Structure 1
Amino acid sequence: MDSLFSPIRVGRYTIKNRVAMAPMTRSRAIDDGTPTELMAEYYAQRADVGLIISEATQPSDLGQGNILTPGIYTSSHIQEWKRVTSAVHEKGGRIFIQIMHVGRMSHPDNVAGNLQSVAPSAIAPKIQLHTADGMKDIPAPRSMTLDEIQQTIDDFRRAARSAIEAGADGVEIHGANGYLIQQFFSPNANERDDKYGGSIENRARFALEVTKAVAEEIGSDRTGFRVSPGATLGDLDEGTEGPALYRYLVAELNKLDLAFLDVMHWGNEELLVDLPSLWDQTLILNRPGRSRDSIGTDIVSGLADMESYGAMILANPDFIHRLQKNAPFNEADKSTFFGGGGEGYTDYPIIETASV
């Protein structure tokens, strides 16, 4: 486990340890997507990890899916994110803002202007989404025009620039977990017959164009990318070509000399073993459900350069200190994951006040 606590180069930064805080939606922003002072406290509490990757943050009104999620495309968003990034930096931490467009994973009730969602194709996921009025079926999206695809690429570019203006150390592009970029990968969500559909190269094109635009805007060494190969979240099915698509995608992303690749592992061990040979920069690995006993093992084995953790860090602001002291962990309260105030958000005890 000692290797967890050694520094590592990530893009233009030297990171103090090899632990990343995984991006986790918490729904504590205000209605217009502006971050709050409570969010600044939450992230600053966890600044002992090497790298914080923020919750998913929309690049436009149309990019929003869930209620009370933050944005990074207005002056008020930028101003209040500055409060968050400054609080993290004051504690000696680094924070990348994750930029995510939800695509079809949306409901008009959750979007300013009650806008219909957009996606690669006009295919609704067969699932429901939480709204202010309870769970509702997700309606069919509009199929994006070529102009709308370009507009969305530009939205990612502007959001990345806004994140840097807000003091973020960089951005992570969310290409995972059932949202817009992964929808382009998946044949059951992408039935396009133009240059963004059909072949592996075409289905990966949107992801690569977004990444190139962001890297050109803020620097490749401040840009990361997240994938979740094989994930079926959002009613997606990547089909039999899924592993081949990711091998192609990762090899192409590698040419851009990004700060990191963030992999959320969903069970394809053969693909996971291949990734280090395709990727030359920092590789961050998240294994959902990882046990405490396995912390650090992927670094030791060479599968990853850093490991990321979600609920463990959510419930343990002093995660690094607890690991070093072999102290027990707080358990995460799932009932407070989304929405609300400080309960289950900023009130988890730290080791000085917890029983050890």
Structure 2
Amino acid sequence: MTEKYTNLLSSFKFPLSGVKLDNRVVMAPMTTFSGNDDGTTSDEEISYYRERNRTAGMLITACAYVLPQGKGFHGQIGAHSDEMLPSLKRIADVLKENGAKAVLQIHHGGRMCPPEELPDKQSVSASAVAALREGAQTPREMTEQEIEETITAYGEAARRAVEAGFDGVEIHGANTYLIQQFFSPHSNRRTDKWGGSLEKRMSFPLAVVDAVKSAVYKAAKKTFIVGYRISPEEMENPGITMQETLALAEALAFEGLDYLHVSVMNFWAGSMRDEKDVESRAELIYQKVGKLLPIIGVGSISSPEQAEEVLSTGIPLVALGRELLIEPHWLEKVKAGNVEQIEKELDIHNQAKLNIPTPLWNSLLTRTGWLPLKE
């Protein structure tokens, strides 16, 4: 049976950092809502990671905020100060217990931050433009000094990831958060060096990458992964187009990253802006820059057959998210040839067995249509 999944179970070496993975499976970053109020991890979150630390060659954490002003939701972990190092080390240690590589995703929520979670109850962004959602707060436009301080904060968070024992960091440039807000013509209406033209809207994402790489170079005594997560398009008008994203992807490829992680709900889905454009967004990015850096494909991939189909496109790594909530031993069952035993629905009576923290569990049960549920 495992002969069917030769590609999936083969090893992979990042060409830039030289870090080697035992297989092509990545655990996608998934919010747990389960950190403590001070930004430290909880025992429940550690148990959740321990239950899943055999299920991928590389495990990416829930995102960690780089500044208190960037806390994106209740229960988020922090990487904003050296006081977080013991907490971050707990996470790195548990993820690496069985030989997988551990990657810390670093993040700032920008205008998507709930005001009640922020020190001054006021979100910030590239410009004072509210998100198109009911009840959204209008953010305060960041000063140039705040922009520079935030760029530095990403670098400091990466330095802490090195010191805590992680094998890499993933810069969260996707899912409508701050880095994407600077790139988006909807949320960035600036007229200084940080906004306006496409090239200027790229300035903040590229500056963050430079800061992270510089911090890692100074801190890491061994090879260390630096990746970037990107969202291909936006629904808003004006909003990010695929043409603009391909330009950013190319610029990122020349930054010397280890990978580009394309964040979509369905790997095979076409454009959210043009229903006539049905080509996979991840494949378009792969065609543009796949020869320059590895691409991670993700989105509605649940079976090993589906994972192999993604890998058959030439994309070298495949990330699973929702499936690893349902089946934390997915990879073990594939390796053992017990694919028929892989769970495909979330059993609503199995919270304890699955080691899913209560805040995350409650979210899964109330988020309509996101997971198939078994009652």
TM-score by length of 1: 0.86
Q: Is the 8 A contact 2:186 2:238 kept in 1?
A: yes
- 2:60 is matched with 53
- C-alpha deviation, 1:330, in angstroms: 4.8
Tell me, in whole angstroms, the C-alpha distance in 2 between the residues paired with 1:341 and 1:124.
27
Alignment of 1:243-254 (within 5 A): 243-254=242-253
Please say if 1:305 is aligned against 2:316: yes
In structure 1, give the amino acid aligned to 2:231.
S
Match of 1:83 among 85, 90, 95: 90
Letter in 2 for 1:186: S
Per-residue CA distance 1:85-124 (angstroms, 9 max, x = gap): 112222211110000100000122112x233111011011
In structure 2, the partner of 1:315 is 326
- Give the equivalent residue in structure 1 for 2:37: 31
Q: State which of 278, 283, 292 in structure 2 corresponds to 1:273.
A: 283
Name the CA shift for 1:218/1:108 in 2 (closer, same or farther; >3 Å).
same
One-letter amino acid of the counterpart of residue 72, structure 1: A
1:296 Cα deviation (Å)? Answer: 1.6
Quick check: 2:330–2:342 contact (8 Å CA) kept in 1? Answer: no
Give me the whole-angstrom Cα distance separating, in 1, the residues matched to 2:44 and 2:98.
Answer: 16
| 2:50 maps to 1:44 | yes
- Deviation per CA, 1:113-172: give whole Å up to 9, x if none: 2331110110111325xxxxxxxx231110111111111101101111111111111100
1:4 aligns with 2:8: yes
Against the structure 1 CA distance between its residues 267 and 211, is the aligned structure 2 distance closer, same or farther, given a 3 Å change threshold? Answer: same
Find the residue that maps to 2:318 and give its secondary structure: strand
Structure 1 residues 66 and 193: CA distance shift in structure 2, 3 A: same
Deviations 1:277-322 (A, max 9, x none): 42422211112x23524222111121x1100011101221111022
In structure 2, the partner of 1:211 is 209
Counterpart selection for 1:164 from 138, 162, 165 = 162
How far apart are residue 231 of structure 1 and its match?
A: 4.2
User: Residues 301 and 323 of structure 2 are in contact (CA less than 8 Å); yes or no, is this contact kept in structure 1?
Assistant: no
C-alpha spacing 1:333/1:29, structure 2 compared with 1 (3 Å): farther
When the two chains are superposed, the root-mean-square deviation of aligned CA atoms in Å is 2.5
Q: Contact 2:232 / 2:242 at 8 angstroms: preserved in 1?
A: yes
Give 5+ residue unaligned stretches, structure 2. 218-222, 272-278, 364-375
Any residues of structure 2 matched to 1:229-240 within 5 Å, and which? 229-232=232-235, 236-237=236-237, 239=239
Between the aligned partners of 1:20 and 1:238, the Cα distance in structure 2 is 33
Q: Contact (CA 8 Å) 1:185, 1:238: kept in 2 or not?
A: no
Answer yes or no: is the 8 Å Cα contact 2:233–2:245 preserved in 1: no
> Relative to structure 2, which stretch is displaced further, 46-55 or 261-270?
261-270
Q: Distance in 1 between matches of 2:296 and 2:73?
A: 26
Q: Which residue of 1 aligns with 2:177?
A: 179
Amino acid at match of 2:40: T
Identity of aligned residues (%): 32
Report the equivalent of 2:231. Answer: 228
Task: Give the AA of the match of 2:329.
Answer: D
User: Which residue in 1 is equivalent to 2:199?
Assistant: 201
Corresponding residue of 2:297: 285
SS in 1 for 2:31: coil
| 2:111 is aligned with 1:107 | no
Q: Is the 8 A contact 1:25 1:338 kept in 2?
A: no
How far 1:247 moved relative to its partner? 1.6
Q: Indicate if the aligned counterparts of 1:200 and 1:245 stay in contact, CA closer than 8 A.
A: yes
**Post-superposition offset of 1:54:** 0.7
Q: Structure 1 residue 332 and structure 2 residue 335: aligned?
A: no
8 Å CA contact retained: 2:34, 2:360: no
Q: Secondary structure at the match of 1:104?
A: helix
What is the rounded CA distance, in whole Å, between the counterparts of 2:348 and 2:282 in structure 1? 29
In the superposition, the TM-score normalised over structure 2's length comes to 0.81
Give the direction of change, closer, same or farther, for the CA distance of 1:342–1:291 in structure 2 (3 Å limit). closer
The alignment partner of 2:46 has SS state of helix
Letter of the 1:71 partner, please give it: G
* Mapped contact 1:82–1:166 kept (Cα < 8 A): yes
How far residue 45 of structure 1 moved from its aligned partner, in angstroms, is 2.2
Please tell me whether the aligned partners of residues 45 and 357 of structure 2 are also in contact (alpha carbons under 8 angstroms): no
Tell me the amino acid that sits aligned with residue 35 of structure 2.
A
Tell me the secondary structure at the aligned position of residue 73 of structure 2: coil
